[in-house]
């Protein structure tokens, strides 16, 4: 599992960082993005759907924990 800490960063930076890191991962690898920007879950969910990655969102301590599985086309609802 790889983590990108984008807390305190405004969009589009959480998405930009996630895209860059996801490019380094293999199919099936998990990327967790920590974000405080309220737009980040919306942007990352849309991007994940477009790219065929699984996406799940969880609130954690005042920020969102966004989990993406590369190439995982099914939703990982939590």
Q: Which residues are catalytic?
A: 11
**Residue from 71, 41, 70 nearest 56 by CA:** 41
Distance CA 12, CA 1 (A): 23
DSSP alpha helices (H): ranges in the chain?
A: 13-22, 40-51
């Amino acid at each position: 599992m790889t983590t990108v800490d984008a807390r305190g960063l405004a969009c589009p930076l959480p998405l930009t960082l996630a895209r860059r890191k996801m490019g380094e991962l293999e199919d099936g690898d998990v990327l967790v993005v920590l974000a405080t920007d309220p737009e980040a879950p919306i942007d990352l969910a849309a991007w994940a759907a477009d790219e065929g990655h699984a996406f799940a969102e969880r609130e954690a301590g005042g920020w969102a924990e966004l989990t993406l599985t590369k190439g995982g086309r099914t939703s990982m609802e939590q």
